[in-house]
Chain A
Amino acid sequence: MNETPAILAEGLSKSFGEVHALQDVDLSVAPGSVLGLLGPNGAGKTTIVRILTTLLRPDTGHASVTGLDVVRRPAAVRRVIGLAGQAAAVDEYLTGRENLVMAGRLHHLGRAESLRRAAELLERFDLAEAAIRTVRTWSGGMRRRLDLAVSLVGHPRVLFLDEPSGGLDPTGRQQLWRTIRQLVTAGTAVLLTTQYLEEADQLADHIVVINHGRVITHGTPDRLKQQVRGARLQLRLATPTTANHAAERVADLGSGPPQVDASIGEVTLPIPDGVAVLPEVVRRLDAAGLALSDLALRRPTLDDVFVALTGQPTQPADPAGARPPTRQDKMATP
């Protein structure tokens, strides 16, 4: 590949006092591709984004964006990047339009072009109706969309999205994913950080998994998923004592032996092929007269990735936050 990488980082390290936030991180993103930076809270994702967006200097190592060194040529880097950080960094006391026009002026687009670009982005992010209200009156999801719109004002060649789906509802997330795909098709390179394997899987061409400031693995989503246990089917029997009976009935449908927790009547069956075996499971239990109180398809979570990769679970600050919010959403629409 003789193309200049959109992002290239080599040997990045950064410490805050005693805390080694990053240690010897390498990464590379090709133009028009998406890199998913996956890791639990505190893994160092945001520190990487801050170094690449010129907000923070690395202690050692170097990084460039579209070939421009982030430490030596920060002003030039800022002209080619867009950043949407974890917080919806929009001005509450300005209207949506004013926020976008302000960003346009600060990108030196000129007055007329700033207005035109603002109108275009308000339309694209479905914010046109709220354009003349101050952002203070907006919902969290709308602010998040505006935040993303602001990051696109300067037509960035490289876009940094730090946990972009935080604060978005499922519709908002779908919309975000669509937007990212459009940008990538148009040649923009995207680095997005996420705690959700599903999000990285949906969007990223390449995934880098980091933990405690180190890259623990990287590769395509497919490669990564091969390292992870597949989906598991969780059956909850209406009568807990029938759990062993139910496990015998469905054992041959799984890729491994079912696990039984008789005390709560739960059977867990590994099913790498996902929903394909579901109808047969239900038929067999029905035929045997075994009533279910609950049935859930459990998809691999970030925890599963870490268990597979490191042999130990993550210790995120917020355990709930480390899992996809809708990991059973596949069951909702059979």
Chain B
Amino acid sequence: MTTQARDHATAMAIADTAVMTRRYLSHYLRKPSLLAIALVQPVLFVLLWTYVFSGAIQTPAGITYVDYLMPGLFILAIVFGSANTGVGLADDLGRGLIDRFRALPMARPALLVGRTLADTARNAFVVLLMVAVGYAVGFRFHAGPAAALVALAIPLAVGYLLSWISALIGLTVRDPETAGTASLLPVIALAFISSTFVPVATMPGWLQAWANANPITHAVDATRALALGGPTSGPLLKAAAWILGLLAVVIPLAIYRYRRVTQ
């Protein structure tokens, strides 16, 4: 392929991805009930954990529970929303839309990249909403605006990874309901057995081993360090390595699935 042809192909692939991103964003805007749930759930999370559990959970000295909790809740809310990707794709598949798109002269990765980008846009909205609710119940960023921005980028990166995992699940199990349930399985193992709600040191030893190996723990620790202050490079590097490493595996697998799957 000549350089010119390759540039043209790249431009087309970007254009196709933009078309797909817009399509999935329209879905969110035109399914009011889905949008409402996407927004109510994170608010519920903030209120539930800050008011119901705060008295019972020991936080490290000098940190209020709401400050300790919010970075974990950003990630939790996004983790729970990630099942949407697989459900949506299984639905597209069942309606014959994936067949239609696959028979069009569009770039192969465009549909999945567009879908995961649209889900990331939705996640950004969720995170901003949670920051607002968090501020109302006493949460504050303590390490300045630049660190706060990076802190918010981490949940979005986790969300992007989980969207691809959910996409792979959705295109593999092919049924929307199964995709929804299946996408939540890794979520439960990852989100709850981590530093999201409680310090890892308070868990039994065998669970600590899992929690310390869990990429969600590193992501939460990095977000927390950026929000509250403290050493950030260690958890940030670990989180980035996990996310990029898993993306490098999951994206090709999901695209491979997409290229083979048919109604």
Chain A residues near B (Cβ < 8 Å):
50, 53-56, 75, 78-79, 81, 83, 85-94, 98, 102-103, 105-108, 134, 150, 154
Which listed residue (B95, B102, B105) contacts A55, Cβ 8 A? B102
Which listed residue (A94, A103, A134) contacts B104, Cβ 8 A? A103
Q: Is the interface of A mostly helix, strand, loop or mixed?
A: loop
Which listed residue (A85, A92, A102) contacts B263, Cβ 8 A? A85
Using CB atoms, name the residue of chain A closest to B19.
A105
Report if B99 contacts A (CB, 8 A).
yes
Which listed residue (A53, A54, A87) contacts B95, Cβ 8 A? A87
Report if B96 contacts A (CB, 8 A).
yes
> A108 and B96: CB pair below 8 A?
no
Which listed residue (A54, A107, A108, A134) contacts B102, Cβ 8 A? A54
Q: How far is the CA of A107 from the CA of B105 in the complex (A)?
A: 6
Report if B129 contacts A (CB, 8 A).
no
Report if B142 contacts A (CB, 8 A).
no
Q: How far is the CA of A108 from the CA of B18 in the complex (A)?
A: 12
Chain B hits for A90, CB < 8 A: 97
> B99 and A83: CB pair below 8 A?
yes
A91-B23, A94-B26 known; A105-B15 Cβ under 8 A: yes
Which listed residue (A78, A92, A134) contacts B103, Cβ 8 A? A78
Which listed residue (A85, A87, A108) contacts B105, Cβ 8 A? A108
Min CB–CB distance A47 → chain B (angstroms): 10
19 more contacts with CB within 8 A, not counting A83-B103, A105-B15, are A50-B99, A50-B262, A55-B262, A83-B99, A85-B263, A89-B95, A89-B96, A89-B97, A89-B99, A93-B31, A94-B26, A103-B104, A105-B19, A106-B105, A108-B12, A108-B105, A134-B30, A154-B104, A154-B105
Q: How far is the CA of A81 from the CA of B99 in the complex (A)?
A: 13
Interchain Cβ contacts under 8 Å between A and B, 8 examples: A78-B104, A85-B263, A89-B97, A89-B99, A89-B100, A102-B23, A105-B16, A154-B105
Chain A hits for B101, CB < 8 A: 106
Chain A hits for B97, CB < 8 A: 89-91
Using CB atoms, name the residue of chain A closest to B28.
A93
Chain B hits for A86, CB < 8 A: 96
Min CB–CB distance B86 → chain A (angstroms): 18
Chain A hits for B30, CB < 8 A: 93, 134
Q: Which residues of B, 51-104, contact A by the 8 Å Cβ criterion? A: 95-97, 99-104
Q: How far is the CA of A79 from the CA of B26 in the complex (A)?
A: 26
Chain A hits for B15, CB < 8 A: 105, 108
Q: Which residues of B, 13-52, contact A by the 8 Å Cβ criterion? A: 15-16, 19, 23, 26-27, 30-31
Min CB–CB distance B187 → chain A (angstroms): 26
Q: How far is the CA of A75 from the CA of B99 in the complex (A)?
A: 14
